[in-house]
């Protein structure tokens, strides 16, 4: 393990400790060696579920972002590019509206179920359109995804247009991301599911590596690119559904973390997937920490992630890609 | 003594797109360096793609070292042939060593050590180039890196099963020094395996003692034991040249020898 990896792991560990014990403006600073009953409630009932959720969401977004970028051969791809997170969140909102109006308890499980249905619908439509376009190549899938994004955006706009002020606020806050509704149990279950998916992908890391060389070269080395693309994009859609059901739409993590990891640790998926999980989790925990400790009220996650991610992305571009034109 | 047949083609017919098809009735290739010549659009790249195994509908018409393609998986076929395609597209900032590590399913660090004294690395002078992202190299430098991958893909030690090397325009972008090295290296390995190279260096092929295949409109119009056997009439037919454009003499002041 080289010094860079140890440094990154150390920073990740520090971020988790910071998030657990420091409150800044939005909460109480806790001394780990002097815990009273209130501190225990804050640590284990309030902060711990959010940190576990942040770890899960960070892992999901980082891996999904990397899969989308790799399989679509597009450095700007992220879970929202194909409209998957859009449809997933829309179906969660529609499900919530339907179940709440029927006086039904709307837990994370149902949110995941609706997000999963939305993501499955989106990816099925994308594959259907791509098939009609004649191929499962990255360009056909991106074009299909743009169609889905446009339709989702239109449906969302219709809902916003016909909602009253309260509904509009609930809708907007959900779109901006929050971990308030998640319990420890549901967060741990989702974390285990995410870990299992990561293991599944690690077993395909050798095949995924060939995709770096282009469809043609991958095929020449015996890789069934079409099957791999369908399989792994479906997995990426599942990861997106988990992230959306736990935290709504969180911008930039799925775009930036894969780029940063590939730059720091190289492109080999055998090692990259684990590091993506770690860095994605650390970044998301830090975003969650800032969202609840910067101000006296909790800030939406997407607001913090976009505010940090935009300038950071410009810095990365100027530092690593100046005068190169291509990524 | 029986001669080892590297590639056998029998009744090959493929239509990559409407209005164009490639058809070869019968062709047997033994170890040697074969030049595949023809005008643009003659079907050379399509033929190489077929032989590489990219068209599954042609698998029954092709056999490599006496094994029909349809009896082999794509992975097994990939171990038996190497292919330099005309258009390579590595995504993201993949370095040459990362590309080789993927192709040989090896660790980048170990591969780098193992290949440090390999004649292909030193001959193509790619040791430093392989450290850089392929996207940021010049066309010729990138071609040398891809050539390196293709040549290592049929290396006697790294890939002992390989019996066929397909090269689609290998000389494109190469300077004369590396072109001459490549020709010499291909001559060497062609004693062991079949090298089939499609290119536009017609003068080189004409001067060589290697077998040549002429293609036109998707068909083989000539099979020659040596480039010197090709007559003016063949060139006129194949490339639609005016016979007055073909001379016996070389009018250049200086000429770098291909040999």
Separation CA A292–CA A290 (nearest Å)? 5
* Contact assignment for B93 to A267 by CB distance below 8 Å: yes
Q: Is residue B211 part of a domain?
A: yes
Q: Which two tokens stand for residue B197?
A: 């190279």
Question: Beta partners for B194?
Answer: B32, B164
Q: Which two tokens stand for residue A88?
A: 């997933």
The answer to whether A2 contacts chain B (CB < 8 Å) is no
The residue in chain B having the minimum alpha-carbon distance to the alpha carbon of residue A224 is B74
Residues 6 or more apart from A208 whose CB is under 8 A from it?
A70, A201, A228, A232, A269
C-alpha distances in angstroms, B53 versus A76, A177, A219, A269, B170?
33, 49, 9, 27, 19
Separation CA A262–CA A275 (nearest Å)? 9
User: Is the Cβ–Cβ distance between A305 and A38 less than 8 Å?
Assistant: no
Residues 6 or more apart from B61 whose CB is under 8 A from it?
B9, B10, B11, B12, B13
A-B CB pairs within 8 A amount to: 72
User: Is the Cβ–Cβ distance between B199 and B22 less than 8 Å?
Assistant: no
* Contact assignment for B103 to A268 by CB distance below 8 Å: no
Residue B120 has what pLDDT? 96
C-alpha distances in angstroms, A208 versus A59, A62, A272, B179?
18, 16, 11, 34
Which of the 8 DSSP states describes residue A43? I
Contacts of A264 in chain B (CB under 8 A): none
- Strands of the sheet containing B67-68, edge to edge, are B67-68, B62-64, B7-17, B20-29, B219-224, B212-216, B32-38, B194-198, B164-168, B81-84
Contacts of A327 in chain B (CB under 8 A): 92-93
Kindly report the backbone phi and psi dihedral angles of residue A152, in degrees, each rounded to the nearest multiple of 5, phi listed first.
Answer: -60, -45
Kindly report the backbone phi and psi dihedral angles of residue B249, in degrees, each rounded to the nearest multiple of 5, phi listed first.
Answer: -105, 150
C-alpha distances in angstroms, A62 versus A82, A164, B45?
16, 35, 39
What residue ranges do the domains of chain A occupy?
A: 3-320
Work out the minimum CA distance from A124 to partner chain B, whole angstroms. Answer: 26
Which of the 8 DSSP states describes residue B95? B
User: Is the Cβ–Cβ distance between B116 and B148 less than 8 Å?
Assistant: no
User: Is the Cβ–Cβ distance between B207 and B228 less than 8 Å?
Assistant: yes
Residues 6 or more apart from A217 whose CB is under 8 A from it?
A210, B85, B88
ipTM: 0.88
User: Is the Cβ–Cβ distance between B70 and B61 less than 8 Å?
Assistant: no
Residue A167 has what pLDDT? 67
Q: Would you mind telling me the total number of residues written for chain A in this entry?
A: 327
Q: Is residue B183 part of a domain?
A: yes
DSSP per-residue letters across A246-261: HHS---SHHHHHHHHH
User: Is the Cβ–Cβ distance between B91 and A73 less than 8 Å?
Assistant: yes
* Contact assignment for B93 to A268 by CB distance below 8 Å: no
Residue B240 has what pLDDT? 87
* Contact assignment for A324 to B136 by CB distance below 8 Å: yes
Residue from A77, A267, A271, A322 whose CB has the most chain B CBs within 10 Å, to mutate: A267
Contacts of B87 in chain A (CB under 8 A): 216
Separation CA B14–CA B16 (nearest Å)? 6
Residue from A65, A206, A222, A227 whose CB has the most chain B CBs within 10 Å, to mutate: A222
Q: Is residue B107 part of a domain?
A: no
Q: Is residue B237 part of a domain?
A: yes
| Of B1, B199, B166, the residue nearest B83 (C-alpha) | B166
Strands B219-224 and B212-216: antiparallel
Separation CA A293–CA A209 (nearest Å)? 40
Strands B62-64 and B194-198: unpaired
Q: Would you mind telling me the total number of residues written for chain B in this entry?
A: 259
The answer to whether A124 contacts chain B (CB < 8 Å) is no
Q: What does each of the 327 residues of chain A score in pLDDT, given as a tens digit?
A: 678 788 888 888 899 888 888 877 767 777 777 778 888 888 888 888 999 999 999 999 999 999 999 998 888 888 888 888 888 888 888 887 776 666 666 677 888 888 899 999 998 998 888 888 877 777 888 888 888 888 888 888 887 787 777 766 766 777 777 787 788 888 899 999 999 999 999 999 999 999 999 889 999 999 999 899 999 999 999 999 999 888 888 878 898 899 889 888 889 999 999 999 999 999 999 999 998 888 877 888 888 888 888 888 788 777 766 655 444
Which of the 8 DSSP states describes residue B61? G
Residue A211 has what pLDDT? 93
CATH code assigned at B22: 3.40.50.300
Residue from A137, A217, A264 whose CB has the most chain B CBs within 10 Å, to mutate: A217
- Compare CB distances from A266 to B54, B98, B136 and report the shortest one's residue: B98
Provide the number of structural domains found in chain B. 1
C-alpha distances in angstroms, B112 versus A170, A263, B99?
56, 20, 12
* Contact assignment for A216 to B98 by CB distance below 8 Å: no
Q: What does each of the 259 residues of chain B score in pLDDT, given as a tens digit?
A: 566 889 999 999 999 888 899 999 999 999 999 999 999 999 999 999 999 999 999 999 999 988 999 999 988 999 999 999 988 878 888 899 999 999 998 888 888 888 988 999 999 999 999 999 998 899 999 999 999 999 999 999 999 999 999 999 999 999 999 999 999 999 999 999 999 999 999 988 988 889 999 999 999 999 999 988 898 889 889 988 887 778 776 666 666 776 6
Contacts of B90 in chain A (CB under 8 A): 212-214
The answer to whether B25 contacts chain A (CB < 8 Å) is no
Residue A327 has what pLDDT? 45
User: Is the Cβ–Cβ distance between A260 and A283 less than 8 Å?
Assistant: no
Separation CA A32–CA A21 (nearest Å)? 7
Q: Give the angle A148-A153-A157 at the CA atoms, nearest 5°.
A: 150
The answer to whether B132 contacts chain A (CB < 8 Å) is no
DSSP per-residue letters across A154-193: HHHHHHHHH--HHHHHHHHHHHH---TT--HHHHHHHHHH
Q: Which two tokens stand for residue B127?
A: 């040791």
The answer to whether B18 contacts chain A (CB < 8 Å) is no
User: Is the Cβ–Cβ distance between A207 and A228 less than 8 Å?
Assistant: yes
* Contact assignment for B136 to A220 by CB distance below 8 Å: no
**Homologous superfamily (CATH) for A3-320:** ABC transporter involved in vitamin B12 uptake, BtuC (1.10.3470.10)
Q: Which residue reads 């190549």 in tokens?
A: A137
Full residue range of the structural domain in which residue B37 is found: 7-87+163-245
Residues 6 or more apart from A293 whose CB is under 8 A from it?
A22, A23, A24, A25, A26, A27
User: Is the Cβ–Cβ distance between A179 and A54 less than 8 Å?
Assistant: yes
| Of B109, B118, B108, the residue nearest B159 (C-alpha) | B118
Neighbouring C-beta atoms of residue B135, cutoff 10 Å: 17
């Amino acid at each position: 393990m080289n010094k860079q990896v140890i440094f990154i792991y150390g920073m990740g560990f520090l971020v988790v400790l910071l998030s657990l014990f420091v409150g800044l403006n939005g909460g109480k600073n806790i001394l780990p060696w002097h815990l009273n009953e209130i501190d225990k409630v804050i640590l284990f009932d309030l902060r711990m579920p959010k940190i576990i959720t942040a770890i899960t969401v960070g892992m999901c977004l980082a891996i999904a972002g990397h899969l989308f970028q790799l399989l679509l051969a597009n450095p700007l791809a992220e879970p929202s590019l194909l409209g998957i997170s859009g449809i997933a969140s829309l179906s969660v909102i529609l499900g919530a509206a339907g179940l709440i109006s029927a006086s039904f308890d709307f837990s994370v499980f149902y949110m995941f179920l609706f997000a999963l249905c939305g993501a499955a619908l989106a990816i099925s439509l994308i594959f259907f359109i791509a098939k009609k376009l004649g191929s499962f190549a990255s360009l056909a899938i991106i074009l299909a995804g743009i169609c889905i994004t446009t339709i989702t955006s239109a449906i969302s706009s219709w809902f916003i247009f016909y909602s009253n002020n309260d509904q509009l606020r609930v809708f907007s806050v959900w779109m901006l991301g929050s971990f308030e509704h998640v319990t420890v149990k549901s967060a741990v279950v989702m974390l285990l599911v995410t870990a299992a998916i990561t293991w599944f992908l690690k077993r395909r890391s050798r095949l995924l590596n060939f995709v770096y060389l282009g469809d043609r070269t991958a095929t020449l080395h015996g890789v069934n690119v079409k099957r791999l693309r369908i399989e792994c994009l479906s997995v990426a859609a599942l990861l997106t559904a988990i992230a959306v059901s736990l935290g709504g739409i969180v911008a930039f993590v799925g775009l930036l973390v894969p780029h940063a990891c590939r730059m720091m640790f190289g492109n080999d998926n055998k090692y990259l997937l684990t590091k993506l999980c770690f860095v994605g989790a650390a970044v998301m925990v830090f975003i969650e920490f800032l969202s609840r400790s910067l101000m006296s009220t909790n800030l939406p996650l997407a607001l913090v992630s976009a505010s940090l991610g935009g300038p950071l992305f410009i810095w990365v571009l100027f530092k690593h890609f100046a005068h190169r034109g291509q990524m | 003594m029986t001669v080892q047949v590297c590639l056998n083609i029998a009744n090959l017919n493929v239509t990559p797109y409407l209005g164009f098809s490639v058809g070869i009735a019968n062709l047997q290739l033994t170890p040697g360096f074969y030049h595949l010549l023809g005008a643009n659009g003659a079907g050379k790249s399509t033929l190489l793609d077929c032989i590489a195994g990219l068209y599954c509908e042609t698998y029954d018409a092709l056999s490599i070292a006496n094994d029909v393609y349809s009896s082999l998986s794509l992975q097994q076929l990939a171990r038996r042939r190497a292919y330099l395609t005309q258009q390579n597209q590595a995504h993201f900032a993949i370095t040459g060593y990362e590309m080789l590590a993927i192709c040989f399913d090896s660790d980048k660090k170990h591969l780098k050590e193992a290949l440090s004294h390999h004649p292909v690395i030193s001959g193509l002078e790619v040791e430093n180039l392989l450290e850089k992202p392929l996207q940021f190299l010049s066309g010729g430098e990138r071609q040398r890196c891809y050539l390196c991958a293709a040549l290592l893909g049929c290396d006697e030690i790294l890939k002992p099963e390989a019996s066929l090397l397909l090269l689609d325009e290998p000389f494109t972008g190469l300077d004369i020094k590396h072109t001459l090295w490549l020709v010499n290296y291909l001559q060497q390995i062609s004693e062991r395996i079949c090298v089939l190279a499609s290119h536009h260096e017609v003068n080189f092929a004409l001067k060589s003692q290697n077998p040549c295949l002429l293609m036109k409109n998707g068909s083989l119009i000539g099979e020659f034991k040596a480039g010197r056997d090709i007559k003016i009439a063949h060139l006129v037919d194949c490339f639609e040249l005016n016979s007055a454009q073909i001379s016996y003499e070389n009018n250049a002041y200086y000429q770098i020898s291909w040999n």
